[in-house]
C-alpha cells in the first residue's frame, strides 16, 4: 500500500498543476470564432467597414447621425480629447455612455470599443491616480507590482465605462534623446519582455470577460525605440520642437532582421503569450518601410509566425502618412498589409468611402475585410461587449474607488520602489525626521505636473497643479518630518543658510511625442543655479532629479552629497519621502544606462563593448 503513496501524490500534484495552468492561461481569442462567424454572415459591406473605423469622439459626435451612417465600430479619445462638458469623472462617464448609446442605435447594435491612452493610470482624467511612467517601473524590476498597477488602471478606466487602453508601450528605447524614452520600461529587451507581459496580465486580468478588465494594446510595433537620430527636416504632421537640432520620433530603424528580433520583438512575444487583444503598429519605419505598410511585419511575422489572434489598430492618422498625397494608395497598402482598424480621428468618412471603393474595385479582397472584422469581433466578444445580458453602459458604482486611498497606496509603493540612489556620501541619506530645519528648493519640488510628465491630463503634459488629489515632494516632506522640524522653501535655493540640510528637486518639464526629442540633455541653468545656491549655504545637499530619462549631470553631481533619481513618479510624492527618511531602503536599479556626456549617445547595453563607458551602468542603484 505504502508504495502507491508517492505515485498518488504525484498524480494530485500533476492534476493541480494542470488546473493552475488552465486557469492562468488566457482564453484564446479564436475560441469565439463560432459566434463571430454567425454575426459576420449577417453583416453588409458597409457594416463591416464601419467596424474597422475609429474616429475621435469630438469629431464624430459633432456630426449628428454619423455613428449610425458609418456603423462606427470604435471611438477614441486622444491626448487632448476631453469631454465637451469639461474634464471630470462624471463628464467622462457621460461621454462614454453617450457614444455607446449612439452605437446601439445601429441595425445590428454592435457596441463600440472605446480606446484611450491610460498609459500610467487613467491619465487623461482629473483625479485619477497617476502611476510612475514605465521607465520608472523598469527600475522596480517587479512584475507583480506592474501587474497590480495594471489591475488598478483597468478598474479606474472601467469606472468611466471605457474598456480599452493604448498600452503597455513595450518600446525598447536605444537612444535617450528620443522624447518617448520614458514610455519604455527599459533599454534591455529582457526586462521589457517581463514587465510588458505583467502589464497585459494586470490590465486584461484572468479573463477579459471580467467587468474589471480592459483590453490592452502593445505598442508601437515594432522598433519604435530604435530609430536613428536625424538632423534633416522632419516629414509628417508633428513638427520637431522649435529650434530642435535633431529628431528621432517616427523615424527610421535601420537594423537587420536579426537585431530587430533580438532587441525589439521580445515584448510582443510575451504580450501575445499573455493574450494581448490589440497591437498598434509604429509610425516609424523599418529600413525605409513604414511599419503601417509592412505586410512582412503585420501579417507574416505578427499574425502568422507569432500567432497573434487579436486585431491591429493603426496609430493616430498614421495610414495617410504611407504615401503622402495619395490617400487611396495608402489605405490599400495598409489594409492589405494587415491593418485591421484605422485610427482616423477626423478623416473617418474619407476612410470609409476609400476602403469601400477599394473593395468594390477588387483592390482589397473581401477576405481581408472579413479577417479584419473577425479579429475585431473576437475582441468584442471576449471583453463581454456582445453579452446581451449585460448593460454596456458604464458601471457607476466603480466611481467609489476612483482615485481612492487604496489605489494611491499602490502608486506610492511603486514610487518608493522606483527611486534610484546614485550617490550617497557621508551617510547624507536617510535623513532624520528630527533635524531642526530642511530647506527645499528647485522647480520640481512643489510641482505635480513635473512629477507626472507627458500624457497626463493633456497630451504633452503641463507643469503646475494639473490634477487634484496628489502630493508634491515638498508636501510629502512636510508631512513626514517631526512637528519640531521646520521646512522652508524657495524656488531658486536662496535662503538655505543655517538649515540642517538642503533638498533640491530639479529635472525636466513635461513633454510627449515629437516635442520631447532633444539634442541636449544637460540640466537647465535654473536647476544648476538652485543647486549651487543651496550648496553655497554650506549645508549637505540632496539632489533629486525628476526626469523622463537620464540627463547629463556632470556639473551637479559633485555639488550633491546625495543624488537620487525618480523617473516621472506621478502623483504620489510620499513615495519619495519614504526613501528620503529611511522608511524604505532604496531598491531601485537603473533601467537605462546613464551617459557621461551627450557625445556618447546613443549609449546602451547593445553598444559595442569597447564604447560602453557610462557614468552609471544599467542596473546601478545604491542602498543604505
Kindly tell me the burial class for residue 610, based on how many C-beta atoms sit within 10 Å of its own C-beta (0-12, 13-18, 19 or more).
exposed
- Between 264 and 423, CB nearer to ligand BGC: 264
Rounded CA-CA distance 496/537 in Å is 6
- Between 78 and 223, CB nearer to ligand BGC: 78
- Between 205 and 345, CB nearer to ligand BGC: 345
- Between 106 and 250, CB nearer to ligand BGC: 250
Closest CB 78 distance from ligand BGC, rounded Å: 2
Closest CB 104 distance from ligand BGC, rounded Å: 25
Residue 300 CA, chain-centre distance (Å), reads 26
Per DSSP (E only), the strands in 45-143 are 53-54, 74-77, 113-116
Contact positions vs ligand BGC (CB under 6 A): 78-81, 117, 166, 219, 238, 315-316, 459, 513
**What's the length of the chain?**
624
- Between 313 and 530, CB nearer to ligand BGC: 313
Closest CB 301 distance from ligand BGC, rounded Å: 21
Tell me the β-bridge partners of 343.
54
Helices vs strands, H then E, count in the chain? 20, 17
The beta-carbon contacts of 385-389 under 8 Å, at least 24 apart in sequence, are 385/110, 385/111, 385/113, 385/163, 386/35, 386/39, 386/110, 386/111, 387/209
In Å, what is the CA distance from 415 to each residue of 140, 409, 412, 439, 464? Answer: 9, 10, 5, 22, 19
Residue 365 phi, psi dihedral angles, 5° rounding: -70, 145
Give me 158's grid cell.
472601467
Rounded CA-CA distance 198/142 in Å is 9
**Cell 516629414 belongs to residue:** 235
| Contact (Cβ atoms closer than 8 angstroms) between residue 193 and residue 253 | no
- Between 26 and 79, CB nearer to ligand BGC: 79
- For β-strands 437-441 and 486-490, DSSP reports them as parallel
DSSP 564: E
Closest CB 41 distance from ligand BGC, rounded Å: 33
- How many other C-beta atoms lie within 10 A of the C-beta of residue 327? 16
- Between 316 and 616, CB nearer to ligand BGC: 316
Closest CB 166 distance from ligand BGC, rounded Å: 3
Q: Collect all residues with Cβ–Cβ distance below 8 Å to 29 and sequence separation of at least 6.
A: 275, 277, 309, 310, 375, 378, 379, 382
Helices of type H across 419-493: 448-452, 473-480
Closest CB 120 distance from ligand BGC, rounded Å: 13
- Helix-strand-coil percent breakdown of the chain, rounded to 5? 40, 15, 45
- How many other C-beta atoms lie within 10 A of the C-beta of residue 84? 12
- Between 237 and 495, CB nearer to ligand BGC: 237
- Between 168 and 507, CB nearer to ligand BGC: 168
Q: How far apart are the first and last CA of the chain?
A: 57
Closest CB 513 distance from ligand BGC, rounded Å: 5
Closest CB 182 distance from ligand BGC, rounded Å: 13
- For β-strands 420-424 and 562-566, DSSP reports them as antiparallel
Residue nearest to ligand BGC (CB): 78
Active-site amino acid positions: 315, 513
Closest CB 155 distance from ligand BGC, rounded Å: 21
- How many other C-beta atoms lie within 10 A of the C-beta of residue 484? 10
- Between 76 and 420, CB nearer to ligand BGC: 76
In Å, what is the CA distance from 183 to each residue of 200, 424, 459, 481? Answer: 15, 28, 13, 33
Instruction: Tell me which residue of 135, 133, 163, 162 sits closest to 149, measured CA to CA.
Output: 133
Rounded CA-CA distance 360/352 in Å is 12
Closest CB 119 distance from ligand BGC, rounded Å: 8
Residue 568 phi, psi dihedral angles, 5° rounding: 50, 70
In Å, what is the CA distance from 67 to each residue of 129, 270, 524? Answer: 32, 35, 48
Amino acid at each position: 500500500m505504502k508504495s502507491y503513496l508517492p505515485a498518488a501524490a504525484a498524480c494530485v500534484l500533476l492534476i493541480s498543476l494542470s488546473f493552475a495552468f488552465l486557469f492562468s492561461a488566457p482564453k484564446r481569442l479564436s475560441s469565439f470564432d463560432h459566434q463571430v462567424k454567425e454575426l459576420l454572415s449577417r453583416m453588409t459591406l458597409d457594416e463591416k467597414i464601419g467596424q474597422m473605423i475609429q474616429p475621435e469622439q469630438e469629431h464624430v459626435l459633432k456630426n449628428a447621425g454619423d455613428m449610425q451612417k458609418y456603423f462606427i465600430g470604435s471611438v477614441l479619445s486622444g491626448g487632448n480629447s476631453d469631454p465637451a462638458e469639461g474634464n471630470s469623472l462624471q463628464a467622462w462617464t457621460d461621454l462614454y455612455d453617450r457614444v455607446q448609446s449612439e452605437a446601439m442605435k445601429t441595425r445590428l447594435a454592435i457596441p463600440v470599443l472605446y480606446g484611450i491612452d491610460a498609459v500610467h493610470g487613467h491619465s487623461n482624467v482629473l483625479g485619477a491616480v497617476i502611476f510612475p511612467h514605465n521607465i520608472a517601473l523598469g527600475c522596480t524590476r517587479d512584475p507583480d507590482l506592474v501587474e497590480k498597477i495594471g489591475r488598478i488602471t483597468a478598474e479606474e478606466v472601467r469606472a468611466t465605462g471605457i474598456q480599452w487602453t493604448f498600452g503597455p508601450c513595450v518600446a525598447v528605447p536605444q537612444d535617450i534623446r528620443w522624447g518617448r524614452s520614458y514610455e519604455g520600461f527599459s533599454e534591455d529587451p529582457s526586462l521589457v519582455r517581463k514587465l510588458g507581459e505583467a502589464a497585459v496580465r494586470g490590465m486584461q486580468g484572468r479573463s477579459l470577460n471580467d467587468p474589471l478588465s480592459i483590453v490592452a494594446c502593445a505598442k508601437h510595433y515594432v522598433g519604435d525605440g530604435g530609430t536613428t537620430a536625424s538632423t534633416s527636416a522632419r516629414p509628417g504632421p508633428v513638427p520637431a520642437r522649435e529650434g530642435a537640432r535633431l529628431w528621432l520620433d517616427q523615424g527610421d530603424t535601420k537594423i537587420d532582421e536579426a537585431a530587430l528580433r533580438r532587441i525589439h520583438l521580445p515584448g510582443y512575444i510575451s504580450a501575445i503569450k499573455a493574450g494581448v487583444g490589440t497591437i498598434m503598429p509604429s509610425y516609424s519605419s523599418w529600413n525605409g518601410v513604414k511599419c503601417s505598410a509592412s505586410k512582412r511585419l503585420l501579417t507574416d511575422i505578427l499574425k502568422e509566425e507569432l500567432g497573434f489572434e487579436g486585431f491591429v489598430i493603426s496609430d493616430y492618422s498614421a495610414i495617410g502618412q504611407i504615401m503622402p498625397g495619395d490617400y487611396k494608395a495608402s489605405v490599400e497598402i495598409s489594409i492589405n498589409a494587415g491593418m485591421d482598424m484605422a485610427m482616423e480621428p477626423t478623416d473617418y468618412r474619407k476612410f470609409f468611402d476609400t476602403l469601400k471603393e477599394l473593395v468594390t474595385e477588387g483592390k482589397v479582397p473581401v477576405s481581408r475585410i472579413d479577417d479584419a472584422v473577425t479579429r475585431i469581433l473576437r475582441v468584442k466578444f471576449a471583453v463581454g461587449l456582445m453579452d446581451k445580458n449585460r448593460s454596456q453602459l458604464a458601471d457607476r458604482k466603480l466611481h467609489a474607488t476612483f482615485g481612492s486611498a487604496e489605489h494611491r497606496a499602490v502608486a506610492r509603493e511603486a514610487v518608493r520602489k522606483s527611486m534610484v540612489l546614485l550617490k550617497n556620501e557621508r551617510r547624507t541619506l536617510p535623513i532624520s525626521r528630527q533635524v531642526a530645519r530642511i530647506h527645499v528648493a528647485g522647480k520640481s519640488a512643489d510641482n505635480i505636473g513635473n512629477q507626472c510628465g507627458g500624457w497626463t491630463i493633456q497630451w504633452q503634459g503641463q507643469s503646475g497643479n494639473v490634477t487634484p488629489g496628489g502630493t508634491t515632494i515638498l508636501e510629502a516632506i512636510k508631512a513626514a518630518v517631526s512637528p519640531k522640524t521646520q521646512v522652508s522653501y524657495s524656488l531658486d535655493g536662496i535662503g538655505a543658510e543655517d538649515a540642517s540640510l538642503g533638498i533640491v528637486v530639479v529635472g525636466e518639464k513635461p513633454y510627449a511625442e515629437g516635442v520631447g526629442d532633444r539634442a541636449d540633455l544637460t540640466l537647465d541653468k535654473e536647476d544648476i543655479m538652485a543647486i549651487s545656491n543651496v550648496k553655497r549655504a554650506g549645508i549637505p545637499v540632496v539632489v533629486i532629479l525628476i526626469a523622463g530619462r537620464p540627463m547629463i549631470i556632470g556639473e551637479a553631481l559633485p555639488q550633491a552629497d546625495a543624488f537620487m533619481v525618480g523617473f516621472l513618479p506621478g502623483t504620489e510624492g510620499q513615495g519619495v519621502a519614504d526613501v528620503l527618511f529611511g522608511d524604505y531602503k532604496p531598491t531601485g536599479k537603473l533601467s537605462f544606462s546613464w551617459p557621461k556626456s551627450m557625445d556618447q549617445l546613443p549609449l546602451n547595453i547593445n553598444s559595442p563593448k569597447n564604447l560602453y563607458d557610462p557614468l552609471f551602468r544599467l542596473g546601478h542603484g545604491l542602498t543604505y
